Structure formats: C-alpha cells, structure tokens
Structure 1
Amino acid sequence: MAPTDRPEALSEHAFSPHDAALRAAAPHLARRRFLTVTATASALAFGTNLPVRGAYAVPVRDAARITDDPFTLGVASGDPLPDSVVLWTRLAPAPFEPDGGLGVQRVAVEWEVARDELFARVEQRGVAEAHPEYGHSVHVDVKGLAPGTEYHYRFRAGAWISPAGRTRTAPGPGEDTAALRLAAVACQAYHDGYYTVHRHLAEDDVDVVLHLGDYLYEYPVDAVGGARRYTGAGLPDVFARETTTLADYRMRYALYKSDPDLRAVHAAHPFVVTWDDHETENNYAGAVDENGSPPEQFLVRRAAAYRAYWENQPLRAAQLAQGPDALLYRRLHWGTLAQFDVLDTRQYRSDQAYGDRPHVPGPESDDPGRTITGDAQERWLIDGWRTSTALWNVTPQQVCFSQRKFDLGDPARVSMDAWDGYRASRDRVVAGARAAGVDNWLVLTGDVHVAYAFDIKEDFDDPGSRTVGTELTATSVTSGGDGTERPATWDTYLRANPHLRFYDGRRGYVRVGLGRSDARIDFRTVPAVTTPGAPVTTAASFVTEVGAPGLKPA
C-alpha cells in the first residue's frame, strides 16, 4: 500500500538541519495547537516529509542495483479480515544506518500471495513502492482473498527475495466458527534477554498473535546488548542513547527486528498490535511525558514515535499517524465466535493522579472527569458491545484492568498508571458491559512483566459480588530479565486480591483457545531469557465457561 493522496513535500534542501529534524518528526499539525514554538517551525514539523508526487518526485531506484540483501528485517502480516490481510516488510540493506542504506530514492517492490508454501499456486501479485519518507516500509492491503484461509506470501526487490511468511484470513462475517487459538505477548526489552519466547511461539499452533504493547523500549542499549552480553565489535554507539527522533526510533526498530526469533514469529503468524508507553516514552499520558517537558515539545517526539510505529508494523493506512495523532483503536471479528475491541490507553488518557507511582486512591484519582481511554474511545467501545453478535467479546489493551492492591493496608496502595488510577473510567466500562449484556468478556493485558489471571468483579471490594469477566495478563517476553515463579510479592498480592487466581513471575506468553462452550487458557513460561534456548512449559491452565464467567483450573 503506497500512499497516494498526501500533499506534495517541499525540497529536502530548503531547510536547516534543525528544521529537517522537526520536519522528520511528523506529517502535519492535525488538531494540536503548539503555543511555544513558532508558526514556521510548526508548519515545517507537520507539513512536510511526505511522498512527493509529480515532476519533482524523487526517482525510483533501480532495484537491480541493490547489492546487499534489503530484507534484513523480515516480513510480517496483520489485522486479518475475511477478505484481506496486511502484508509488511521494510527494505534496509544497512539496517543500522538512519536511511537503511537506500538514501532518498523510492524502490519498486514486487509481492505475491499463494495458497502453498512453494508458491506453485500464486493467487495474487502486484508491485508496491517503498518510500524513503516512510523508512522504505511496504504495507500491502491485499484484498479479494478467501475467508478462513491460510496463505503464504513473499516480496522481491531486484534479485533479492524475502523470506516467506504465512498468514490467514478471518472467517466470514456470519460463519459460526467452532474454535480460535490465539496467543498474547507483551514487553520485549531487547537489552533484557533473548527472544526465546518468540521462537517457541513461532512453532506453536495458533491462528493469530496479539501484541499488547512495549514492542520496543526507548532506553539506551550498550555495545554488548545488555543481558545478551555480545562479544566482538558489538552494537554501534547509535543505540547507546534514548530514542527521541524519527531516525532514533527507526533504527531501534531495526535493532529489535534484527533478532531472528522475532522475525520468525512474525513470519509464522498474523499479528494484531497495539502500543503501550515505551514505544514512545515511559509512563507518558496523552501530551504529558514523565519529565514535565512542555507539551508542544513532547508532541513532536510523540509524532516521531507514532510514525515509526506504523512504519514497522503490519497496519493499514487508517492507522498511519497524522502528526502526533494516530487512530490505533479498532475492531476486528472472527466469524460469530469473537469480536476484538483493540484499545489505546495511552494517547487519550488524563495525566496520572499523584504522579505515576503507587498511591492510595483519593479525590484526585477518583475524579469522575478523569479518563484512561478518552470519551470518544469509551463510547466507541460500549457502543460496539451493544451491537456485538459475537459469542466472545475480547478486549486487547495495555495496563491492568482489575483492581490490584499492592499491600494489606486499608486502604491499600494501587497503581496510578493502570485502571486503578482511573476508577471512574473502569466503573463506566464495567457498567457499559453489563448494560450491553456482554456475557463472555475476556480482557487481555500486558505491561507488568508477570502473568496474572483475574476474575473481573462487579465490585472489587466485595469478593462475593458478581464475576463479569476474565482478565489475562501476558507476562513479558524479556523485560525484567529471567524472573521467578514466585516473586517476593506473591503471598501479599494473593491475600490482598481474592479475585487474583494466578500469579507467576517468569517470562512467556498466554495461549487461549476460544470455543463454543468454553475458553481454555494456558500460561506458557520459560525458565530463563538471559541465555538462549530455554525450554517452554505450561505453568498453569484454566477454563472459563460460556455463560458462567470465572476461572476454574483445567
């Protein structure tokens, strides 16, 4: 999918280096009004760096002259619909260079989709353009596919052929699909270990993978790759700083996608992705960063981060950032079996109450005007439930939804960065689910680097109140290092939160089998990520039955 309807860009040579950095940050001003930067700087930051059309467009590079493999970052697919799926790649023969080694020229990239892995039965093929303005990424929204079907795909640039990927389309809209196997992952700090979890997930039999945020981290990565402890020349110095510019974020994605296990899991399964904070900056809330920077300054950084996120994920054009804004929340379906309401709890939230550290709830955090989703997304979610005809309503999102007391105090401290810090928001969402008649509600969460299983209660302070759904928290892929089966807080958390049914501190993923009578949940864990090759085991399994919310041991 090459962008075709953007305004023309101005000449690369018309601006100073400072202006060029602003210009690279984001496409246009959107609806933000910057108060402390000049109108000229604002226009430069948000009005340019778009694909040029017409006589002044940069020429198409002769792909035959690409001398090194441009497919170093692999391939991916995502957001499957009954008749289409997004195919992704990004050309980068020199992935650790700001331009990926391709300069400012466009590159024509061929793609093809087949029913078989040998590509003997090619169903569709075409040509897309990889634009330098989008980091030479390619997003092809392939339409006209058969529902509920497995496909294989690949790309070609000149003499170079990409690795092949496998994907699948969703079942037809009215199809009473019997089963769906999904996996949820989150939090994959490169510097905290190897992606062994992704290698095991690549080999697992699942239909789709949900990535719940913290795909990358903005923190510096040293020459030895942190816990990976590389020897020899090591990583370039460019990674030994925090990401703030578009070039920084692009190269950080290149570092992450240089990992063979991450490339393998993307090639094996279609992904549905959403972000949390670290794709931009730790614990940011809307236009507020953790350092108290002027909002207009942070929004330029956010624009760069959002732009790079789209460039490096299998997302449709609707999710392309417009300046510091991006419409990431969206709805997908899997026949009549499941509706997925993918949330964004970072972009629209009120600033954290009492700072972003654990705190006892109080008037500030419980102000009914505070929101974690923004009003429009909250209405969209609840309205979607009212019209849902799916058996399972699945909500992939970022931070813990259920109440999570950190101690046995009365009152106890809770996270101001999670839904506990936005209790009025949570109350409205729970009430909306109840009013919509959502009987089989499954919330999928990342962020906290441990695995949890919660019964979602109508009133978390009354253990005997009605259970209205299930929350599953995917532990991290690597973040936090190896972890341990029973963290130091294990006993306290279980005593303070009677609706918490499972707690494990190791790395891994959660696998869910949705069926017509129940859902089977398996928490898959590895004992270590600081050394590669650890085996995967199932730490615990649960069942939640259709029409009877609540977790039971399998």
Structure 2
Amino acid sequence: MALTGRRGALSEHALSPHDDVLRTAAPHVARRRFLTVTAAAAMLAFATNRPARGATAAAELDAARVSADPFTLGVASGDPLPDSVLIWTRLAPEPFAEDGGLGRERLVVEWEVAADERFALVEQRGAATAHPEYGHSVRVDVKGLMPDRHYYYRFRVGGWISPTGRTRTAPAAGGETGAMRLAAVACQSYQDGYYTAHRHLAQEDVDVVFHLGDYLYEYPVDASGGARRYNDRTLPDVFNRETVTLADYRLRYALYKSDPDLRAAHARHPFLVTWDDHETENNYAGAVDENGSPPERFLVRRAAAYRAYWENQPLRAEQLPQGPDARLYRRLAWGSLAQFDILDTRQYRSDQAYGDRPHPQGPESDDPARTLTGAAQESWLLDGWRNSGALWHVTPQQVCFSQRKFEATTPARVSMDAWDGYRASRDRVVAGAKAAGIDNWMVLTGDVHVGYAFDIKDDFDDPGSRTLGTEVTCTSITSGGNGSEKPANWDTYMRANPHMQHYDGRRGYVRVELGRLRAQVDFRTVSGVTRPGGTVSTSASFVTEVGSPGLKPA
C-alpha cells in the first residue's frame, strides 16, 4: 500500500526477461533493451554468489561447535502437493548479527518427517546443507508422502532440536474433496504493533494460509520497535535504516521472524506466499522504483530483495531468483475442489499512470498496452482456467481487483496502483474468466489495510450487471495500527461502490471455507495491536453459493 504517494517522472513500462511479449509500446524498445542488459548484469553478479563446489567450497562447521540455539527463526512449510511438501528453517544462533552467528561456514542439518507429533512413526529422514551463500537457510522438498495427510517435521544441529512444525499434503489430484479451510493474511509492519492476529491464527483449524504480500517493510525500525514499546528489549541500530542491500533484507527478515506469534503461525500451518511491494520498495513497478532511481541501480536492489525473500520463505527451488527476476506466480490444486492461481502483480507491471496519484481513469491509465501481470503471466492464468476441472477458482494476489471509487461524484478518483489503474489488463482477465466459464471465482487480496468484500461485476458502473465472482480483502496483521470499525470514508465508499458489501478498518485476517455447495467467508478481527495480547472475534460472515456468484450475509 502506498504510504508516501510519491513517484518520479519515469513512466516507461517495466521489462522482465520472463516477459518478452510487452512489445506493443514501440517507443520504449530502446529503453527496454537497456533494461534487459542491466538486468542481465545484475543476474550475473548474483549468480556468482552461489554455493561453491570442490576445493573452493566453504568450510564445514562441526555441529558440535554450535553453542547456542540455531533455530531462533523457527520453522515453516509451504506449497503442499499431493505427494510432497516443502519444509524450511534458517539457522541463526545470533539472529541480529549479519552472518547469523555462523560466519562463512556451511553446516549439515538433519531433518525428520513423522506421522505423529512424538516422532514415534518417522516416515522420512535425511540431511541438508545450510550454505552461507543462502543465509544458512535450509529447505527440503519432502517427496513420497501420502495425499491429504497431516505430518510433523523438525530439524537438528548437533544437540539442538528445532521446534516441531505441523504441515499437510494436498488431496490427490482430481480427488472428490468435500471441503477445505484457508486463511488469508497480509501487511505485517513490525513497527506498527504486535502480531496478535498471528497468535490467534496459529490456533485456527485451517488447511493452508495464504500470505498476500508485505511480509516485511523496508522502512527504518527504531530501538523500541515503533509501537512495540512494551517490549523488554532494545533493538540494535542496524534496523534503524531502510533496507537496500542483501544483508539489510536478511536482517529485516530475522527481526520479523524473531516474533513468537509469527513463528507459531508458520509452525502450525503450511503457507503459500507471494510478495507485494514492501518486500522490496514501496509501490515499485517492474524496474521503476518510487523515486525514479536509475533502473540499473534499482534492479540490483530488487535482486537483493528477491534473494532474501526466497531464502526466508518456504519456497521450492523453482522460485530461486535469477538475479532480479523470479518466477513466483504458480498454480496449486486441492483435489477437484479448488484451483489456486497465485499471482505476482509487481514484477511485470507497467509503471503507474498519472504519477501514481489518485486520479480519475483516463487515456493514460486506460492504454490497452498497459499491464499489471505481464503478458506471459496473463496467458498462463487464462490458459489455466480453460484447462481446469476444479469447482472453485481462487486467485490469491495483491492489490484491489474490483473498482473502488474514492468519491461518490463523477468523475471519481481511483487508485493508480491497483487494478483500477490498469483497466485494460483487468478487462482481459475478466473476459478470460467469462470465456472459460468460471462460475465460482474468488479473488483474495491484501495491500489496503482494511477488510473489504466485493461482488465482481461484469460492468462495475452498472450495479444491475451480471455478478461474475467475489473479492475478499483480508485487512492487515498490524499495518496502520489499531484502525477503526468505520473509517472516516466509510459512508462515502459504501455509497460510491454499490458492489462493496463490507468495509471494516480493523486488524485481523480472513478465514474461508470452500464446500461443494457454498463458500463461507469470515472476517476475523482482533481487538487491537498496539498493546500485547488482545482477543479475536468474527466481525462479519458472508456466503457465496456454487453456481450463484455474489455475497450474502451468512
């Protein structure tokens, strides 16, 4: 979410080596060739920082010499498939030291996966290497598991044993799964408050958690941790600066993952993650940053941010960045019940129109050459819908998909950072959903630090037009402080957007149960985040029926 609303004069479309089909804007060809060269240079620089082999490899540290708990950043799992799941940890006996307290030595880590929490029925075990080049992170793609099962996992280094994580596999491909539960979270600015929502999420009975972006924020964090003034610790000065380098981003993840409530949520549920802007820099668009820096400089920063993101999330090797580029969009299924198409709306997007300021839609924002997803990702999404046999099609992504007018007047301003600023891109996606016959479509959104529920309309300016699906925005974990139930613009937004069924400005998360006949959406709201503790309650519930899109109060 934009916090400063500033952008430099650059307006060229971003280019990624993954997306060679954004050739329609001919005046930018020379610029794009330049970006391709600089991206390649950054990629080469980061490709050399990979674990070496043979005589040049980093020395191996004797696990017996690790004298402090190396599992301070917890454990996590992610992206469950019917026969495998990815398990993760990152070793850091000194989490606020640049090297995590392990220097430049590699370390062998043992792991186990069991059918029970006591590890009496160990299904698989093995060893993996924590390389300094990857921030001593460890990921194991555990294969050969049974579908639709819960498993427990842990790691060991010498005499140190990690916390136990609980994960699960997806149902068998095409299996007739009756129901599943998911949660969606986003926007967890450390300095804005305590992770009360994560503490309650760890106790929820859900199958998976979608993290929709802004896992961390690049802004400085002062010694008291911002709003976390009830902490009994003082943070080092290393956090009181904006993240720019790989070391900066690694340390910031260490700060966030030092939170026990976030660690508890990761240990309890498998996460499916995607980024938004703040994992790199506020409101960046492709190779264009907020302040109009030279693209070659920003791409180096983006490479550092992407590398640190992969190191600190339960992602497979397929998502390992190649310099400033990473294939984060991907597709997972839950039997025949649901298909999840996880999007990346930052890496491939055209620069925001009208200087990234709220503005009525106009020729600049409506240019058909503009894209939020990039053409390759857009084709991937639409092809996936055409070839799907799932009952529900869930699209976890970052920014508001539905029209969201800021005034009840005409013309009304809208966000140039959301899909409203890329109407041609949205129109192509909507047309693809209609052509594929997607009847039960749900978009999951983060970014805006409030809870919304929208009906996705065939024509947002005609309240009587056909409803094509639903959009659920999951508010923030902490970003924006405590918030309020009805922000000052509540009446205006509800009048200006008749397809908006719900608006709540407090913190929390969304819980969704997908069934064979209907889906239920519960907005879970915490009492506050600027003091530790706090309660959680269901502030609103809606249902949408199979074959009858649209939200109704539960």
TM-score of the pair, normalised by structure 1? 0.93
Which amino acid is 2:396 matched to? P
Partner of 1:285: 285
Task: Name the CA distance, whole Å, in 1 between partners of 2:39 and 2:155.
Answer: 42
Q: Secondary structure at the match of 1:61?
A: coil
In structure 2, relative to structure 1, the CA distance for the partners of 1:158 and 1:415 (3 Å cut) is same
**Which residue of 1 is the match for residue 190 of structure 2?**
190
Per the alignment, residue 14 of structure 2 pairs with none
Contact in 2 for aligned 1:343/1:395 (Cα 8 Å)? yes
Question: 1:235-271, CA deviations, whole angstroms, 9 ceiling, x for partnerless residues?
Answer: 0000000000000000000000000000000000000
Corresponding position of 1:166? 166
Alignment partner of 2:174: what SS?
A: coil
Secondary structure (helix, strand or coil) at the match of 2:552 reads: strand
* Shift in alpha-carbon separation, 1:241–1:549, aligned structure 2, 3 A: same
- The CA deviation at 1:35 is 7.0
Change (3 A) 1:519 1:495: same
The aligned residue for residue 421 of structure 1 is 421
1:20 corresponds to: none
* Letter in structure 2 aligned against 1:151: Y
Cross-structure match for 1:141 = 141
Q: Give the deviation of 1:231 after TM superposition.
A: 5.8
Deviations 1:505-544 (A, max 9, x none): 0000000000000001100001210011111000000000
Q: CA deviation at 1:43?
A: 7.8
SS of 1:453's partner is strand
User: Does the Cα contact within 8 Å between 1:353 and 1:421 map onto a contact in 2?
Assistant: yes
1:327-353 alpha-carbon deviations (Å, 9 max, x no partner): 000000000000000000000000000
Task: Tell me if the contact between 2:43 and 2:324 (Cα under 8 Å) persists in the aligned partners.
Answer: no
The aligned counterpart of 1:376 is: 376
In 1, Cα distance between equivalents of 2:487 and 2:312: 34
CA distance in 2, matches of 1:30, 1:426: 20
- Contact persistence 2:43–2:303 (CA under 8 A): no
Give deviations 1:106-144, integer Å, cap 9, x for gaps: 100000000000000000000000000000000100000
| SS state at 2:355 partner | coil
**Per-residue deviation, residues 23-80 of structure 1 (Å, max 9, x unmatched):** xxxxxx9999767999997587234111001122112111111000000000000000
The corresponding residue for 1:459 is 459
Q: Is the 8 A contact 1:88 1:139 kept in 2?
A: yes
**Structure 2 Cα separation of the partners of residues 166 and 233 of structure 1:** 30
Are 2:314 and 1:314 aligned? yes
**Cα distance in 1, alignment partners of residues 425 and 40 from structure 2:** 38
CA distance in 2, matches of 1:96, 1:510: 32
- The one-letter code sitting in structure 1 at the alignment partner of 2:52 is V
Residue matched to 1:411: 411
Match of 1:217 in 2: 217
Which one-letter code corresponds to 1:68 in the other structure? Answer: A
Counterpart amino acid of residue 476 in structure 2: S
Q: Which amino acid aligns with 1:120?
A: A
Cross-structure match for 2:265: 265
1:232–1:387 CA distance, 2 compared to 1 (3 A): closer
Separation in 2, partners of 1:371, 1:358: 18
Identify the residue that residue 12 of structure 2 maps to in structure 1: none
**Which residue number corresponds to residue 153 of structure 1?**
153
Partner Cα distance (2:374, 2:531) in 1: 41
Contact 2:39–2:299, Cα closer than 8 Å, also in 1: no
Asked whether the equivalents of residues 47 and 322 of structure 2 are also in contact (C-alpha less than 8 Å), the reply is no
Counterparts of 1:109 and 1:77 in 2: how far apart (Å)?
A: 16
1:80 is paired with a residue whose SS is strand
Alpha-carbon distance in structure 2 between the residues aligned to 1:344 and 1:75: 24
CA RMSD, aligned part only?
A: 1.7
Q: Which residue of 1 aligns with 2:335?
A: 335
AA of the residue aligned to 2:430: V
- The letter of the residue matching 1:487 is P
Question: Residue in 1 aligned with 2:75?
Answer: 75
The aligned counterpart of 1:535 is 535
CA contact (8 A) 1:30 1:323 kept: no
Query: What residue is the counterpart of 2:395 in the other structure?
Result: 395
Shift of 1:355: 1.4
- SS class of match (1:227): coil
| Residues 1:302 and 1:165: Cα distance change in structure 2 (over 3 Å) | same
Q: Which residue in the other structure is 1:548 paired with?
A: 548
In the alignment, structure 1 residue 324 sits paired with structure 2 residue 303:
no
Using a 3 Å threshold, how does the CA distance of structure 1 residues 480 and 39 change in structure 2: closer, same or farther? closer
CA distance in 1, matches of 2:306, 2:43: 18
Matched-pair contact (CA < 8 Å) for 1:451–1:504 = yes
Q: Which residue of 2 aligns with 1:89?
A: 89
Change (3 A) 1:552 1:44: closer
* Matched residue SS, 2:394: strand
What are the superposed Cα offsets for residues 156-209 of structure 1, whole Å, 9 maximum, x if unpaired? 011100000000000000211000000000000000000000000000100000
Matched residue, 2:490: 490
Give yes or no for contact 2:40–2:323 (8 Å, CA) kept in 1.
no
Query: What is the number of residues matched between the two proteins?
Result: 526
Whether contact under 8 Å (1:523, 1:539) holds in the other structure is yes
Cα deviation 1:402-426 (Å, max 9, x = unaligned): 0000001201000000000000000
SS at match of 2:188: coil
- Go from structure 1 to structure 2 and tell me whether the alpha carbon gap of 1:359 and 1:46 turns closer, same or farther (over 3 Å shift): same
Matched, 1:114 2:139: no
Match of 1:63 in 2: 63
Partner of 2:248: 248
Question: Given the superposition, is the C-alpha separation of residues 42 and 473 from structure 1 closer, same or farther in structure 2, using an over 3 Å criterion?
Answer: closer
Are residue 203 (structure 1) and residue 207 (structure 2) matched? no
- Taking only the aligned residue pairs, the percentage that are identical comes to 78
Structure 2 segments unaligned to the other structure (5+ residues): 1-16, 20-31
Shift in Å, 1:551: 0.4
1:201/1:548 CA distance change after superposition, 3 Å: same
Deviations 1:326-381 (Å, cap 9, x if unpaired)? 00000000000000000000000000000122111110000000000000000000
| 1:513/1:254 CA distance change after superposition, 3 Å | same
Residue deviations 1:314-337 (CA, integer Å, cap 9, x gap): 000000100000000000000000
Higher relative contact order (CA 8 A, sep 6+): 2
Q: 1:278 to 1:39 in 2, by over 3 A?
A: closer
Give the letter for the 1:349 counterpart.
R
Kindly report structure 1 stretches of 4+ aligned residues shifted beyond 6 Å. Answer: 29-33, 35-41
Residue in 1 that maps onto 2:526: 526
Q: Quick one: which amino acid aligns to residue 78 of structure 1?
A: G
TM-score (norm 2): 0.93
Aligned AA (1:466)? R
- For 2:451 and 2:281, locate their aligned partners in 1 and report how far apart those are by CA, in whole Å: 23
Residue segments in structure 1 that go unaligned for 5+ positions in a row: 1-28
